[in-house]
Amino acid sequence: MAYFGLFSLLAMQCVVTGATFSDEPMAEWSVNMYNHLRATGEDENILFSPLSIALAMGVMELGAQGSTLKEIRHAMGYDGLKNGEEFSFLKDFSDMVSAKESRYVMKIANALFVQNGFHINDEFLQMMKKYFNAEVNHVDFSQNVAVANYINKWVENYTNSLLKDLVSPRDFDAVTHLALINAVYFKGNWKSQFRPENTRTFSFTKDDESEVQIPMMYQQGEFYYGEFSDGSNEAGGIYQVLEIPYEGEEVSMMLVLSRQEVPLATLEPLLKAQLIEEWANSVKKQKVEVYLPR
Please spell the DSSP secondary structure of 36-97, one letter per residue.
Answer: HHHHHSTT------HHHHHHHHHHHHHT--HHHHHHHHHHHT-TTSPTTHHHHHHHHHHHHH
Structural domains of the chain, ranges and CATH numbers in brackets? 18-187 (3.30.497.10), 190-293 (2.30.39.10)
Calculate the alpha carbon distances from 266 to 2, 79, 259, 261, 271 in Å.
16, 32, 12, 11, 10
User: Greater confidence, 280 or 14?
Assistant: 280
Instruction: Please report the sign of the dihedral spanned by the C-alpha atoms of residue 260, residue 263, residue 264, residue 269.
Output: negative
Model confidence pLDDT, tens digit, residues 224-236: 999 887 666 554 4
Model confidence pLDDT, tens digit, residues 55-108: 999 999 999 999 999 999 998 888 888 888 899 989 988 888 888 777 888 888
User: Greater confidence, 204 or 242?
Assistant: 242
Task: Tell me the pLDDT band of 237, cut-offs 50, 70 and 90.
Answer: low
Predicted local confidence at residue 138, as pLDDT: 96
What does the radius of gyration of the chain's CA atoms come to, in whole angstroms?
Answer: 21
What is the mean predicted confidence (pLDDT) over 189-201?
93
Mean pLDDT of the chain: 84
User: Greater confidence, 257 or 188?
Assistant: 188
Return the closest-CA partner of residue 29 out of 79, 95, 98.
79
Half-sphere exposure of 107 (CA within 13 A, CB side): 14
The conformational region for residue 253 under phi > 0 = left, psi -120 to 50 = alpha, else beta, is beta
The three-state secondary structure class of 124 is helix
Predicted local confidence at residue 10, as pLDDT: 44
